[in-house]
Structure 1
Amino acid sequence: MGEAVLHVANLSTMLLCMVLKLPQIFLLMKLKSAKGVSLRALLLELTGYIVFVIYQMYYEYPLPTYMEYPVLIFQDTILLFLILHYSGNLKQSVIYSTMFVGAWQLLTHQKWILDLAMSLCTFISAGSKFVLLQCLWESRDSSHVSTLSWTMSTYTCMARIFTTVMTTGDLQVMARFIAMTILNMWVTATVLYYKQGCKKLH
């Protein structure tokens, strides 16, 4: 029974993550504007994803426990290019690409660097949520943020708490997913709150 639930959790997480950022991507393409979407939050999130993937690969954890992250990195990269494009800063993409490739090389150079980065990973990922929340609080406008993407993100983090308990039992990874679940729920609630406020104004 436990194996079947674990399989469903892994599969559902992977399937959702394959389309997780698509609602946000399509929303930006439809509006042709990155207003209300935080570049800093996206960069922090992308950094957290990269550190997490490298950590899982380095310690040879089971692929099903993190296989969605390369897909998320790819989707975040598309989002990054869209934000830079709509804000007229597309040339900066070369700088960011160089930084991320350099970071990848640095993290795999020494084990202690990777362990330290993973310890900070939760704070980096949490920072991305707080930056987005701050952006929403200041603008009081969530029309450019996809509720569906954040709802799916909340579910996938909850599923990953379960799969981590059932497989590796890594406390650092578990703490990260618990923190991300709480923050994703907070972002989702904030997005819904401001969307309701916009509806009332109209």
Structure 2
Amino acid sequence: LAMATSAMATSAMEPLRQIFLQYLMPEECFDRFFLHLDFLHVPCLKIVLSKVLGFGIILGSIMVKLPQVFKLIGAKSAEGLSFGAILLELFAITGTMAYSIANSFPFSAWGEALFLMLQTLAIGFLIQHYRGNTLAGLLFLVVYFCTVSLLLSPVTPLLVVTTMQASNMPAIIVSRLLQAGMNYRNGHTGQLSAVSVFLLFAGSLARIFTSLQETGDSLMALTYVISSCCNSLIAAQVLYYWNCSPALRKKRE
């Protein structure tokens, strides 16, 4: 009877086991948790935490820049946003995505780059559109998608993608400095979305842990360390200029 009960329990857990093994943990960790009831096994806990954080970041990335997009559309203005900063940010995101795909890293380690890329593209187009350069915005989209197709194709050597990933750090630094400089000159953060800024900062911090845990790639981890430091600068400016809107700035002047 005990054997029959055990067999039924094992059979009932099989669908759950397959899901866990595919998305959350290796078989060794599943056995430790559910067969040996060892829920305090630190290496397995780190693996599960990394996976959960990774998928959480990906889910959050689906909407992380939407507040920025909606703010631009609502204001019908791109005041305070640097298109150069957007281009450099897009370069960094694309480099991470192409490098991760080329090295066959798990989607949970880099998946947010895909959604951030699409939202950053939308922001770049809207900046051009609201500055009266809609045609230039459309050309920007076409050129970008052609470039990504080439990067992800077999004709692009791995060295090119690796070099691009290594260039992410200066690209991220310059991107954030451009935006920070514009904020300082304007005396406000314009149409920059505080929600998007703080979500990006939190996501880059979490990615330091997940990139080390899931890829073991120090280049990826260092990129997220630099990104977190730079994002913290923009977040600090958002707090500093919190009560200084463009309209209030003009009124004071």
Please tell me the TM-score bracket, short chain as reference. over 0.9
Q: CA deviation at 1:97?
A: 2.8
Corresponding residue for residue 188 of structure 1: 235
TM-score (norm 1): 0.92
Q: May I ask how many residue pairs the two structures share in their alignment?
A: 202
* Residue 133 of structure 1, aligned match among 168, 180, 183: 180
Letter in 2 for 1:11: F
CA contact 2:98–2:151 (8 Å) conserved in 1 = no
Matched, 1:4 2:48: yes
CA contact 1:107–1:113 (8 Å) conserved in 2 = no
Corresponding residue for residue 172 of structure 1: 219
Q: Bigger relative contact order, structure 1 or 2, given CA contacts below 8 A and separation 6+?
A: 1
Matched, 1:86 2:133: no
Letter in 1 for 2:112: E
Q: Deviations over 1:161-190 (max 9, x none)?
A: 110121111111111000101111110111
Rg (Cα) greater in structure: 2
Change (3 A) 1:98 1:29: closer
Corresponding residue for residue 152 of structure 1: 199
TM-score (norm 2): 0.75
Identity of aligned residues (%): 24
Matched, 1:48 2:95: no
Instruction: Give unmatched runs, 5+ long, in structure 2.
Output: 1-44
Cα distance in structure 2, aligned partners of 1:3 and 1:115: 26
SS at match of 2:167: helix
Corresponding residue for residue 111 of structure 2: 67
Matched, 1:57 2:101: yes
Report the RMSD for the aligned CA atoms in angstroms.
Answer: 1.9
Cα distance in structure 2, aligned partners of 1:106 and 1:71: 18
Letter in 2 for 1:27: K
CA contact 1:36–1:145 (8 Å) conserved in 2 = yes
Instruction: Give unmatched runs, 5+ long, in structure 1.
Output: none
Task: Say which is worse superposed, 1-10 or 96-105, in terms of deviation.
Answer: 96-105
Change (3 A) 1:8 1:107: closer
CA contact 1:129–1:184 (8 Å) conserved in 2 = yes
Cα distance in structure 1, aligned partners of 2:207 and 2:144: 25
Cα distance in structure 1, aligned partners of 2:117 and 2:243: 30
Q: CA deviation at 1:112?
A: 1.7
Q: CA deviation at 1:106?
A: 5.1
Cα distance in structure 2, aligned partners of 1:98 and 1:30: 25
Cα distance in structure 2, aligned partners of 1:162 and 1:191: 26
Matched, 1:32 2:76: yes
